[in-house]
Amino acid sequence: MISPQPPTASARIYADDLQVGRRYELDQYTITEDELVAFASAWDPQDFHIDGDAARSGAFDGLIASGIHTLAIYQRLAVTKTFATWSVIAGRRLDDVRFLRPVRPDDTLTGTIDIVDVVLEPARGRGLVITDAELVNQYGDPVLRARVEAYVRTRP
């Protein structure tokens, strides 16, 4: 599935360039109640994500974000800081994605990405880049952890 065409000019970092142990610090993202409810209404319409009254009498004493929304926020922060400058082919796998604490309206999330392995497959023009992702809230408490695997082109 690898194309012979070169990657775009903005994607200049190849799998060969990525160092195991490198850590990236993510920017911040604040989730509003409107966004939380809108996302969940479209993709995860369960009471505790979309109905404030039901949520207040539920397990979390208020609305909590969909885990898919939390993952989407992670991905947005990750693209800005890493993937947009890497010559990514595609994501392959997410493993052990843990929703550790509720994410609530007005929470501000940030986090880290650590490169934990790079498995080069130069004959296929690619490397499998494995990262550990963590998002924390404004109290420093982890809300999401995941292992993320993506194929990145090797240097032409």
Q: Which residues bind a second copy (CB under 8 A)?
A: 1-3, 5, 7-8, 10-11, 42-48, 54, 57-61, 64, 66-68, 71-73, 75-76, 79, 83-84, 88-99, 102
Cβ closest to a second copy, residue 103 vs residue 136: 103
Give least dist CB 73 to a second copy, A: 8
Q: Kindly give, in sequence order, each residue whose CB lies less than 8 Å from that of residue 89, ignoring residues fewer than 6 positions away.
A: 1, 2, 126, 150, 151, 152, 153
Cβ closest to a second copy, residue 1 vs residue 123: 1
**Amino acid at site 31:** I
Contact between 107 and 70 (Cβ < 8 Å): no
Cβ closest to a second copy, residue 22 vs residue 147: 147
What b/e sequence results for 4-36 when a residue is b if at least 16 CB atoms lie within 10 Å of its CB, and e otherwise? eeebeeebebbbeebeeeeebebeebebeeeeb
Cβ closest to a second copy, residue 21 vs residue 49: 49
Element (DSSP H or E) covering residue 149 = strand 142-153
Contact between 118 and 136 (Cβ < 8 Å): no
Give least dist CB 93 to a second copy, A: 5
Give least dist CB 12 to a second copy, A: 13
